[in-house]
Amino acid sequence: MVCKKCKSVLAEDALYCEKCGKPVKRKPAAKKAEAPLAPEALWPLTTAQCVGILLAFCVPLLNLILMVIWAYAPQGNENRRSLARAGLILCGAVLVLAIMGLSAFLILVNTGAITLTGVV
């Protein structure tokens, strides 16, 4: 490179001319290449994959095992992980509501507010 003011030779990494002190203008860097495709872990789930996952969630006990594995696996599809975590939260909420409903029913039966006649 050459200084435009005093025509002295400059080092390639110079920020200013050592003789006259004029700042060196740098050429803009070349445009970066387009970003590569997202890794497989970030690809969206297809409709078929979503249907398969939801069908697996319908099988008792298998659904809990798969949800725990998918929700806490260190690797895997991020969308499947989020779906499994949402499923676990939903299962927990349904379990809490079922326990509360059963408790309320048993309290009502024990206090005599509800009588079970004709039940053996």
Q: What is the pLDDT of residue 36?
A: 60
Query: For residue 10, is pLDDT > 60?
Result: yes
Contacts of 29 (CB under 8 A, 6+ apart): none
Containing 87, the helix (H) or strand (E) segment is helix 78-111
The tens digit of pLDDT for each residue in 24-72 reads 877 665 666 665 656 777 888 899 998 999 899 999 899 999 999 999 9
Q: Is the pTM of this model over 0.95?
A: no
The DSSP annotation for 3-18 comes to -TTT--B--TT-SB-T
* Torsion angle in degrees (nearest 10) through CA of 41, 45, 51, 56: 10
pLDDT at 75 (0 to 100): 83
What pLDDT is attached to residue 107?
95
